[in-house]
């Protein structure tokens, strides 16, 4: 039912270079300089332009992707159902699949092709067959289940139960509970699996810290890493092996080095009420949903610099990146829609370029995309360095006419997730 062919159009390098040269020629004075990490200038560039809005249910909350088919699953907290979107055409495929009370997060498990939906008020998880769109079963968990994370190495799904202070472990091969739960901190809400080290990172909303659990043993290995006020969710940057956590009550983001479990950045200011995040492997960005407004703040994951924002709908909550076509899907919690955009970069309100069609001449979903990260800006409208990326790799900066080449080693692409992970 959901099987669909994905097409990728090859972009001519000559067109891409021409677009880049046009962009360089259009740069004028007054363009914001590359600021201190965690800061931005008075002019905030738009890093994405919404291409469409897809109607869903009431209070859309969580979002999940089946990367094999491009199917998007959206949980509607207010209408107690799930909407299915065809990510290739950005149209509704199934308007409503009834689940439990107040569905929160959705996790797609590619090993069995099922979607697992946490029902916060129902204290259970609804399992949906990803091929038929039919409910398979309901699994009782702890009190107020929030987010889940899947470990493809052991086939377990870990659910954070906010009002139980623990994780429920589900064997997705049998849909049965394993053990009696893993005790973590106070009010755990977010949980992220790091396939690079096999650990789970659990954000504890009530105790303002992070608990690390080894999935090899399902034991706590680091009881507490301090975070900001009201941490709710987290996301993995596999390129730098970092965990990004939004602090809802502090309007900033904390970054943890997962290789050492030490803080690498404790204060990236992102705006009012940050909720959820998504990592984009095509450009190295982290998109932060600012539920107190109508935008996403965009962070360069490598430098922790704010590079711009994206306008979405009312109360942007969760985001999901489809690496096959480059589109980003955003649930707008205080609306009834999902915003879809392709990352772009706009300089001083002038020329733009990126994955979406427009003044750059690059059609939507191409592998080539102009990064919104500017290594440096010259004076008087001269670009000192512009990065141009093909997929996840980063070549050295393209040089303006008359300048000497600068050495810049390519960045490594993100490690490939293990089979079954999504």
| Distance (Å, whole) CA 141 – CA 338 | 28
pLDDT per position as a tens digit, 312-321: 999 999 999 9
Asked whether the beta carbons of 188 and 166 are under 8 A apart, the reply is yes
Mean pLDDT of the chain: 78
The single residue listed with the structure tokens 């922790």 is: 304
Q: Choose among 54, 157, 67, 163: nearest CA to 110.
A: 67
| Distance (Å, whole) CA 365 – CA 25 | 25
pLDDT per position as a tens digit, 50-100: 678 999 999 999 999 999 999 999 999 999 999 999 999 999 999 999 999
pLDDT per position as a tens digit, 202-228: 999 999 999 999 999 999 999 999 999
Q: Give the count of beta carbons closer than 10 Å to the beta carbon of residue 89.
A: 12
| Distance (Å, whole) CA 304 – CA 298 | 10
| Distance (Å, whole) CA 92 – CA 368 | 28
Residue 139, beta-bridge partner list: 125
| Integer angstrom CA distances of residue 158 from 43, 52, 125, 149 | 41, 33, 11, 5
pLDDT per position as a tens digit, 384-417: 222 233 333 322 222 222 333 333 333 455 566 6
Torsion of CA 46, 291, 271, 252, to 10 degrees: -120
What integer pLDDT is reported at residue 413 of this predicted model? 56
pLDDT per position as a tens digit, 181-202: 999 999 999 999 999 999 999 9
Asked whether the beta carbons of 396 and 410 are under 8 A apart, the reply is yes
What integer pLDDT is reported at residue 417 of this predicted model? 63
Asked whether the beta carbons of 253 and 296 are under 8 A apart, the reply is no
Q: Is the pLDDT of residue 362 over 80?
A: no
Query: What is the DSSP-derived secondary structure letter of residue 397?
Result: P
What integer pLDDT is reported at residue 46 of this predicted model? 73
Asked whether the beta carbons of 116 and 124 are under 8 A apart, the reply is no
| Distance (Å, whole) CA 60 – CA 83 | 9
Asked whether the beta carbons of 47 and 309 are under 8 A apart, the reply is yes
Q: Choose among 385, 368, 375: nearest CA to 16.
A: 368
Torsion sign over Cα 309, 312, 316, 317? negative
Q: Is the pLDDT of residue 301 over 90?
A: yes
What average pLDDT does the segment 340-364 reach?
Answer: 43
| Distance (Å, whole) CA 26 – CA 344 | 16
Q: Is 222 helix (H, G, I), strand (E, B) or coil?
A: strand
Domains by residue range for the chain, with CATH: 46-345 (2.130.10.10)
Q: Answer whether 0.75 is exceeded by the pTM.
A: yes
CA angle 173, 177, 183 (to 5 degrees): 130
Strands (DSSP E) contained in 67-208 are 71-76, 81-86, 91-98, 103-109, 114-119, 124-129, 135-140, 145-151, 156-161, 166-171, 176-183, 188-194, 199-204
């Amino acid at each position: 039912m959901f099987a669909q062919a994905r097409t990728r159009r090859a972009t001519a390098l000559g067109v891409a270079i021409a677009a880049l040269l046009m962009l360089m020629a259009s740069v004028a004075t007054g363009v914001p300089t590359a600021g201190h990490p965690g800061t931005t200038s008075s002019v905030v560039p738009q890093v994405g332009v919404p291409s469409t809005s897809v109607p869903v249910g009431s209070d859309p909350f969580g979002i999940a992707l089946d990367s094999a088919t491009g199917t998007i699953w959206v949980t509607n907290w207010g209408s107690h159902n799930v909407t299915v979107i065809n990510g290739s055409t950005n149209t509704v495929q199934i308007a409503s699949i009834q689940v439990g009370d107040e569905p929160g997060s959705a996790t797609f498990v590619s090993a069995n092709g099922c979607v697992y939906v946490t029902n916060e008020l129902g204290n259970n998880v609804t399992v949906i067959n990803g091929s038929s769109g039919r409910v398979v079963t309901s699994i009782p968990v702890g009190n107020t289940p929030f987010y889940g994370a899947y470990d493809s190495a052991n086939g377990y799904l870990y659910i954070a139960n906010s009002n139980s202070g623990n994780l429920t472990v589900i064997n997705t091969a049998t849909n049965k509970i394993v053990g009696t739960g893993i005790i973590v901190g106070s009010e755990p809400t977010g949980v992220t699996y790091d396939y690079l080290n096999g650990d789970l990172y659990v954000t504890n909303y009530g105790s303002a810290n992070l608990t690390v659990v080894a999935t090899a043993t399902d034991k706590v290995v680091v009881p507490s890493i301090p975070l900001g006020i009201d941490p709710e969710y987290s996301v993995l940057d596999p390129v730098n092996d970092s965990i990004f956590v939004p602090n809802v009550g502090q309007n900033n983001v904390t970054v943890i080095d997962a290789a050492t479990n030490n803080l690498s950045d404790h204060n990236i200011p992102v705006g009012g009420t940050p909720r959820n995040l998504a990592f984009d492997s095509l450009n190295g960005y982290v998109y932060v949903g600012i539920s107190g407004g109508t935008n996403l703040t965009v962070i360069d994951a490598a430098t922790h610099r704010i590079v711009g924002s994206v306008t979405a709908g009312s109360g942007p909550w969760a985001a999901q990146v489809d690496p096959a076509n480059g589109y980003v899907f955003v649930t707008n919690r205080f609306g009834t829609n999902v915003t879809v955009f392709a990352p772009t970069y706009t300089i001083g309100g002038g020329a733009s370029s990126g994955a979406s069609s427009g003044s750059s001449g690059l059609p939507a979903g191409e592998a080539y995309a102009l990064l919104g990260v500017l290594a440096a800006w010259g004076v008087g409208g001269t670009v000192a360095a512009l990065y141009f990326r093909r997929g996840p790799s980063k070549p050295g900066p393209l040089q303006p006419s008359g300048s000497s080449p600068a050495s810049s080693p390519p960045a490594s692409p993100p490690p490939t997730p293990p089979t079954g992970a999504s």
